[in-house]
């Protein structure tokens, strides 16, 4: 029987788990707290705290996916604790981020582009990617993730959205359903060591996305705030420091992925139903 073990069943991991179960996989994985573990068990997913994974469960996995970011001073937590226990013949996957490309001043990047991480957090990502690829793992570089419960329409309704004006700035994004279908496509068409950009077809300014979300929410479009005047967290400012357009052709040509939500418009309309 095909079985998938996911280290770190978070927002994307839950959607991947759901899609895998629909395709007949047995699914197990790790979560942060006992309450979430119980919730996952209620959905037919064997869930464990990270430091309590039975070796027999991991050994039985035919597919292993890691979605846990590397940590300062430790690096990749999964490889540090469970690297020697990973099944030799299993499909391996690692969820990374398009942030590893760094700033390209709005130019297009693909999987062959130079990785210009630009800070220690993203350099750890690059290092982790290399470790998984040396093991034959598949690397998925995810753009900005959104979907049910995590999207611009809900931010608008909660009064948490704003439109920052930074001319020329664009971001790539991806609906969580399309993350799941891309990972599962790779699981049945392995290309050990491959890296994939997982993003939609239309890099766009965040201000355009928020404006469209306002229309869907039936509220006036929020005014633009000059970027230089915006109060932002260090992480948010770092996010805006990189500008690139991410090419997704490889997942279409190599894995046959047909995006369910090719732009933010289809994706936001779906979550607004």
| pLDDT tens-digit map of 74-101 | 899 999 999 999 999 999 999 999 999 9
User: What 8-state DSSP symbol labels residue 266?
Assistant: H
The pLDDT assigned to 99 comes to 96
Global pTM?
0.97
The Cα 197–Cα 20 span in angstroms is 20
The pLDDT assigned to 248 comes to 98
- Residue-by-residue pLDDT tens, the chain, 273 positions: 899 999 999 999 999 999 999 999 999 999 988 888 899 999 999 999 999 999 999 999 999 999 999 999 989 999 999 999 999 999 999 999 999 999 999 999 999 999 999 899 999 999 999 999 999 999 999 999 999 999 999 999 999 999 999 999 999 999 999 999 999 999 999 999 999 999 999 999 999 999 999 999 999 999 999 998 988 888 888 889 999 999 999 999 999 999 999 999 999 999 987
CA atoms within 13 A on the CB side of 79: 19
Judged by DSSP in three states, 112 sits in coil
The Cα 123–Cα 203 span in angstroms is 24
Nearest in space to 248 (alpha carbons), one of 233, 237, 258? 258
Helices within the chain (DSSP H only): 11-22, 34-42, 55-59, 77-82, 120-134, 152-157, 176-188, 206-217, 234-240, 249-255, 264-271
The pLDDT assigned to 190 comes to 97
The Cα 76–Cα 74 span in angstroms is 6
179, 188 Cβ separation under 8 angstroms? no
Nearest in space to 94 (alpha carbons), one of 74, 123, 65? 65
């Amino acid at each position: 029987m095909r079985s998938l073990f996911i280290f770190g069943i978070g927002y994307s991991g839950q959607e991947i788990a759901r899609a895998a179960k629909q395709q007949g996989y047995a699914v197990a994985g790790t979560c942060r707290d006992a309450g979430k573990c119980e919730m996952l068990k209620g959905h037919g997913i064997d869930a464990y705290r990270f430091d309590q994974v039975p070796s027999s469960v991991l050994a039985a996995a035919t597919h292993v996916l890691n979605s846990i970011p590397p940590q300062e001073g430790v690096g990749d937590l999964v490889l540090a604790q469970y690297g020697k226990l990973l099944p030799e013949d299993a499909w391996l996957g690692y969820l990374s981020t398009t942030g590893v490309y760094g700033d390209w001043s709005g130019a297009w990047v693909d999987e062959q582009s130079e990785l210009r991480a630009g800070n220690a957090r993203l350099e750890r990502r690059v290092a982790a990617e290399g470790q998984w690829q040396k093991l034959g793992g598949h690397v998925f570089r995810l753009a900005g993730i959104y979907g049910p419960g995590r999207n611009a329409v809900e931010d608008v309704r909660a009064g948490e959205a704003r439109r920052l004006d930074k001319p020329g700035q664009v971001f790539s994004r991806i609906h969580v359903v399309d993350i799941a279908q891309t990972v599962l496509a790779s699981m049945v068409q392995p290309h050990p060591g491959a890296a994939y950009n997982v993003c939609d077809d239309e890099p766009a300014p965040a201000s355009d996305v928020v404006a469209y979300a306002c229309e869907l929410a039936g509220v006036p479009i929020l005014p633009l705030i000059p970027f230089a005047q915006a109060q932002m967290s260090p992480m948010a400012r770092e996010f805006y420091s990189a500008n690139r357009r991410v090419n997704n052709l490889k997942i279409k040509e190599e894995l046959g992925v047909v995006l369910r939500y090719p732009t933010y418009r289809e994706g936001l309309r779906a979550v607004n139903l």
